[in-house]
Structure 1
Amino acid sequence: MYIVTNRTVDESKHTENEAFGSKPIEGPNELRLAEASRRRNRWHIDILPDQITPQMARSVDLNPDNIYPASAYVARKLIEKPDQGTGARPNGRNLLLFVHGYNNDMTDVLDRAERLEQNFGVEVIVFSWPANGGGLHGVLSYKSDKRDALASVGAFNRVLEKLEALVSDFHAQYVIDLEARAEARFADNAAAWDRYFAKEVEKHCPFTVNLMLHSMGNYLYKHLLGSSVYSGDRLLFDNVVMVAADTNNENHAEWVDRIPYRNRLYITINENDGALKASRLKMGEQQKARLGHYLRRLDSRVATYIDFTSQPHVGDSHAYFEDSPLKNAKVLDFFKASLNGKVAEKPTRYDPSRNVHRL
């Protein structure tokens, strides 16, 4: 599993809560990459160097005499190293960028990402921002994490830029070669040219890239969309899944409708979400109804709203994509489809009076 972070790091440490700090890296929008693996039921962390070693280059079939950034190594491990020339990723899994929420230390983050991989068959890349409450608790912790989310906007923008560049570079040369083959075979038949091209692209790259934002991770994305650093033209993700969004319901369409995606933009709602009810109380009257637990004013023109309220096993869960809620086959099927870039609302019942799909 790979982590991209704007937390402070200690390259000499290899446990998750020593290798990663609880404060942002000093410097404008700096990022570090790390590799996490299970060893004897504990996490082992390797903070990747900014420039990879010759040994690392050889391990992913790069020229060891050249200089490569850590992102090139991760790209080869995740995307670019094909399976026996077919172009497919070695394990065939779809990619999921996971952005966690409030009050998460690195053990929480990695354990949750591992469950996402196990439950839904995806390859998770984690963006981890400093969401530990600064060692505080309660209201002060919540406010501290909101400040850290705002401070992480530029870093998150760079994550999207880098991921887009990796995926684009992966496609670029293959597309050039494929266009030449299509032209040689079907120069005089545009329809056949298009069919051949589409079929070959699907064979070469049969995976989707999706984004899951949980809780305050949605607050971070909201402020990125309104930031001057955001370019707004990255059609990177097939599905964007906003789970239990800890951000205002009021006027959410103004920024949600700016989110680019290829297939679906899902917003999940649980009116009984205990964590979101608590987050309103933490900020007193200033904290308005949260998007993830409010079934009114669902007025985005592009989002598909999914209501999990009162579903068996969901209860007051804030993370109904894991543990007991997955005993409900409807819940399991929704997340399995949505996090893999598929259409997930077909089995639901649409309520036009609320503009919401009910499981």
Structure 2
Amino acid sequence: MARSKSARWRGAGSISAVFLTLTACGTGPEGVLAPIPANLVSPAASDVTMLVATSRKPSGDPATLFTGERSPALSLTDLTISIPPNRAPGTVEWPKKLPPDPRKDFAVVAAKNLSIPKAHKWLHSHNSNGRVLVFVHGFNNRYEDSVFRFAQFVHDSRAKVVPVLFTWPSRASVLGYNYDKESTNFSRTAFERTLKALADDRGVTDVTVMAHSMGTWLAMESLRQMALEDGRVSPKIRNVILASPDLDVDVFGRQWTELGPKKPKFTITVSRDDRALAVSRLIAGNVDRVGQADPSKEPYKSKLQAAGITVLDLTDVKTADRLNHSKFAESPEIVQLLGAQLASGQTLTDQRVGLGDELGLVVAGTVDTIGNAAASTVSAPIAAVEGNTNKPPPDDLETILKGDATTQ
């Protein structure tokens, strides 16, 4: 039945509420990337050094390094981030004023542009065990947002990996959803070439790709492009983690099929209370997003079998994120699970997670109650994922953001 005119106006009017809510989850001040003076470096802080590859346009300002605009040339940067002591795991401590105070703030202590040959030398000098973790951020991210979030994840996970960040051109505006989505398409070849360069390096033994939200589209498209060009995804890319994937389930099914018969091990985190994906679904014509799928119910339950994809249902995991969209990085237990296990060359199964208990017990330690889906992992094929859930989600943006209903 068609919606009334007043209902349509309420939905349109609440778009501003969407933008205000998403902006409220915003990030820190601008100009935080200029390295702090050596005399300010805190001996109590920890360091995370990463290689950053980007298809963004350089800003010409050492305090920001790159803009949200697109560049046809890939840029490479060596960054070292200082992580303050005595902070809660899962948090990014943005400086309230500049320069940052490394005793309590995240701060950049070194930044250096690299050529491709120098990037290979950097990789060899930082690679002790051959394992590389590549992270791709999501929608509405500045360059520094992705740098600090990845540094937080690497530090808190304690994963023994070489951290490589791929950051694509985002205008970091909630009004820029379509621009950001097209920027992921613009960046497909640059990211594919980054992955190939890592896989072709003689010192690299395995690569884990971890992507969040809209970044999962870029990851899947680049892996698909690699498979179509080379006949398969590089065997060195052994694990792919899709966190809160902002992917149309029908499109994901096609992408999965076109990766070919020899695929990496996939792990997907889902959360049915993800408000950001609820808004994305509304924008995308009410087609299910992979990150909101319920693997315990039809049509997914009967179709998600035998392909070996691990689905982690984080619906009952509680974090400070009001949109419930970044649980993969903000829950200390999930950070350690994803980082220490997958990024260290091991894989999750539906039997054990390697942290001493089954996944349900790990999740149970962070919440009061858990459902069957949250208490176990689900091995599943995505090749035949299709169709919508029986109960459509609310089409009123205000209802979605209030959290009065979740997709079933």
Which TM-score applies when normalising by structure 1?
0.67
Q: Is 1:100–2:137 an aligned residue pair?
A: yes
Counterpart of 2:123? 75
1:305 aligns with 2:348: no
Contact 1:22 1:132 in 2 (8 A): yes
Shift in Å, 1:312: 4.7
Q: How far apart in 2 are the matches of 1:245 and 1:305? A: 12
Of 27, 33, 53, which residue of structure 2 is paired with 1:4? 53
Question: 1:3 deviation in Å?
Answer: 0.1
Paired position in structure 2 for 1:86: none
What's the offset of the Cα at 1:216? Answer: 0.7
Structure-1 residue corresponding to 2:185? 150
Deviations 1:77-132 (A, max 9, x none): 222xxxxxxxxx1xx58421001111110221111111111111233110111122
**Deviations 1:122-161, CA, capped at 9 Å, x for gaps:** 331101111224xxx43x4111100111111111111111
Counting only pairs closer than 5 Å after superposition, residues 212-251 of structure 1 correspond to structure 2 as 212-227=210-225, 230-231=229-230, 232-251=232-251
Counterpart of 1:292, as a letter, is: G
In structure 1, what is the Cα distance between the partners aligned to 2:147 and 2:252?
30
CA pair 343-130 structure 1, distance change in 2 beyond 3 A: same
Identical counterparts, % of pairs: 21
Code of the residue aligned with 1:148 in structure 2: it is: S
Q: CA RMSD in A?
A: 3.2
Q: Which of 159, 170, 173 is the matching residue for 2:203?
A: 170
The count of aligned residue pairs is: 276
Match of 2:113 in 1: 48
In 1, the alpha carbon distance for the partners of 2:326 and 2:258 equals 25
The residue identity in structure 2 corresponding to 1:127 is F
Shift of 1:48: 2.2
Structure 2: which amino acid aligns with 1:96?
L
Question: Which residue does 1:14 correspond to in 2?
Answer: 62
Question: 1:198-277, aligned counterparts within 5 Å?
Answer: 208-227=206-225, 230-231=229-230, 232-259=232-259, 264-277=265-278
1:289 is matched with which residue?
288
In 2, Cα distance between equivalents of 1:162 and 1:254: 26
Deviation at 1:20, TM superposition (A): 1.0
Structure 2 residue 152 is matched with structure 1 residue 115 = yes
Give the structure with the larger helix fraction. 1
| Partner Cα separation in structure 1 for residue 334 and residue 329 of structure 2 | 13
Answer yes or no: is the 8 Å Cα contact 2:244–2:270 preserved in 1: yes
**Residue 321 (1) aligns with residue 320 (2):** no
* TM-score, length basis structure 2: 0.60
- For structure 2, the 5+ residue unaligned runs are 1-49, 83-100, 353-357, 361-371, 381-408
Contact 1:241–1:339, Cα closer than 8 Å, also in 2: no
Match of 2:366 in 1: none
Do the aligned residues in 1 keep the contact of 2:69 with 2:169 (CA within 8 Å)? Answer: yes
